[in-house]
């Protein structure tokens, strides 16, 4: 997080905020508030202290909300007091992080609410902004969905290209057991499904099926494995997929298609 914030500030401020330098006296203090301008689920608040600290610090930072809180238009998210130059230099970077991460949290909350009562849980994916995965997955969790694996290193997900490279479903599953990590395998045909189950697979990924097709495949699995559905899952159809009997549904849209939420920063002299 520290390095990501450093890079973001360096990218924006560069050799210095020339507008602030020529317009604002070095001795001027100010107070600023971050305000929600639309209904949203806030996330990214843990970054504010780091952002201001890297530009010399502020007198006071008061968080009025916590990650995962619902905000209405006009709600104060956070307030900060300190050197006016510091507040102005950090304004855009702070807003960029808050707007982006609150967008992820807001979409995640909508997905979580859409499947309430089905017994199915929503997972995020690795379809994240490069360099921001941990932050975006934290925001997704704040919104109410579960984090899938963080990367290629913490769980095994055998997909079609792995199956091809390993020489088949059985070979891939048997070789994967040696790693001692959770194993999930994607199957594309009924034959692959049977082979995966016969090989001891306990977590099956079904990709790009319709809800009706998924329901039929899940009946065939008969509880012998945990089932995740993925592929083309949106807010409009996620409940239909959740009602098939699947344990999980995953959607890349939670992170790759979340829009920035409308949050503003208002400054006044103190």
Instruction: Tell me if residue 195 is catalytic.
Output: no
Instruction: Tell me if residue 213 is catalytic.
Output: no
Answer yes or no: do 101 and 169 share one domain.
no
Instruction: Tell me if residue 188 is catalytic.
Output: no
Give me the catalytic one of 37, 64, 70, 127: 127
Give me the catalytic one of 37, 64, 92, 170: 92
The DSSP H or E segment spanning 130 is none
Answer yes or no: do 124 and 76 share one domain.
no
Whether 45 and 98 have beta carbons less than 8 Å apart is answered as yes
- When divided into structural domains, the chain yields a total of 2
Instruction: Tell me if residue 92 is catalytic.
Output: yes
Q: Answer whether 0.75 is exceeded by the pTM.
A: yes
Q: What is the DSSP letter of 180?
A: -
Cα 55 to its chain centre, rounded Å, is: 27
> What pLDDT digit, counting tens, does each position of 31-56 carry?
999 999 999 999 999 999 999 999 99
Domain with 59 in it: 2-106+259-269
Answer yes or no: do 172 and 250 share one domain.
yes
> What pLDDT digit, counting tens, does each position of 131-189 carry?
999 999 999 999 999 999 999 998 899 999 999 999 999 999 989 988 888 889 999 99
CATH number, domain containing residue 51: 3.90.1170.20
Give me the catalytic one of 64, 70, 159, 188: 159
Give me the catalytic one of 69, 184, 186, 195: 186
> What pLDDT digit, counting tens, does each position of 194-247 carry?
999 998 889 999 999 999 999 999 999 999 999 999 999 999 999 999 999 999
Residue 25: left (phi > 0), alpha (psi -120 to 50), or beta? beta
> Which residues 6+ apart lie within 8 Å of 142 measured at CB?
41, 43, 67, 68, 105, 108
> Which residues 6+ apart lie within 8 Å of 35 measured at CB?
74, 75, 76, 77, 263, 264, 265, 266
Instruction: Tell me if residue 222 is catalytic.
Output: no
> What pLDDT digit, counting tens, does each position of 12-22 carry?
999 999 999 99
């Amino acid at each position: 997080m520290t390095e990501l914030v450093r890079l973001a500030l360096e990218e924006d401020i560069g050799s210095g905020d020339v507008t602030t330098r020529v317009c604002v006296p070095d001795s001027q203090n100010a107070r600023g508030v971050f305000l929600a301008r639309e209904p949203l689920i806030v996330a990214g608040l843990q970054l504010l202290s780091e952002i201001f600290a890297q530009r010399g610090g502020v007198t006071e930072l008061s968080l009025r909300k916590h990650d995962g809180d619902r905000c209405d238009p006009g709600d104060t998210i956070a307030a900060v007091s300190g050197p006016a130059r510091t507040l102005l230099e950090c304004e855009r970077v702070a807003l960029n992080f808050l707007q982006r991460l609150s967008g992820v949290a807001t979409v995640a909350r909508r997905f979580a609410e859409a499947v309430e009562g089905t017994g199915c849980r929503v997972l995020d994916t690795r379809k994240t902004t490069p360099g921001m995965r941990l932050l975006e997955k934290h925001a997704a969790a704040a919104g109410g969905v579960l984090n899938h694996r963080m990367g290629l290193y913490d769980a095994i997900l055998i997909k079609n290209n792995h199956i091809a490279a390993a020489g088949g479903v059985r070979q891939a599953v048997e070789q994967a057991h040696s790693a001692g990590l959770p194993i999930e395998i994607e199957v594309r045909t009924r034959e692959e499904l049977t082979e995966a189950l016969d090989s001891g697979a306990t977590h099956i990924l079904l990709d790009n099926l319709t809800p009706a097709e998924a329901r039929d495949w899940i009946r065939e699995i008969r509880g012998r494995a945990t089932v995740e559905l993925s592929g083309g899952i949106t807010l409009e159809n996620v409940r239909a997929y959740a009602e098939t009997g699947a344990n999980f549904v995953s959607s890349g849209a939670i992170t790759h298609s979340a829009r920035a939420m409308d949050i503003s920063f208002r400054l006044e002299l103190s």
